[in-house]
Amino acid sequence: MNLHFDSRFEVKFQAETGRFQGYASVFDVVDSARDRMVPGAFARSLKEAQTAGRQPPLLWQHDAAQPIGAWREIYEDSHGLFVTGDLFVADIPRAKEAYKLMQEKVVNGLSIGYRVRQAHREQKTGIRVLTDVDLLEISMVTFPANDAARVLRVKSALADGAVPSPREFEAFLRDAGLSRKQAKSLMADGFKSLLPDGDLRDAGCAAAAGTETAALYDLAAKIRALI
């Protein structure tokens, strides 16, 4: 039996190429079917796909007859299942429509199709905890069941004068343009983790420091734009 696990998502676009990034699944969030995905649930399936040299298809509304692009990157981080995809906007009319709808935030959900390998049910809550699943496909969908939007949640927390959780803020930094490694380093060690090592009196290090400083200013501008 194939099942779906949905996630409302915020994406980062790259020009008009059809490339976008987002989270196909968010960990430790209970969806409308009272399922909760936990870290590591995709690890085996992703490893098997990597060994086989394939990725799950990128579908429109879970329709196997409507592939609209390809996933270029899929991996777990501390927040969920992070994906980078290309919609084939130049070759598939539906992909071009999907990209426009996504840009206009008309269609703003991702949903995974999966088969359960291992799970258990919490006695107190009745929630089914998914610990190992086969990832079969990832679709763009209109109505996601999982309403965990990382950027929107961070915006809401900041607007209310609250502090976002570390996991949410790390995902927020990813939206601002940091790599996974940079985001984790920044959360752990602050801005110093992004600066070059060595004696800044050295000409080479000074030049590197100038480049890094410029990058930090650019990062700050991107974060302000997201907020």
Q: Give catalytic residue positions.
A: 62, 111, 137
CB 114 within 8 A of CB 136: yes
Q: What single DSSP character describes residue 127?
A: P
- Find, among 225, 176, 175, 215, the residue nearest to 194 by Cα: 215
Helix (H, G, I), strand (E, B) or coil at 80: strand
- Find, among 16, 32, 31, 92, the residue nearest to 60 by Cα: 92
CB 78 within 8 A of CB 39: yes
Q: Which residue has the tokens 């915006």?
A: 155
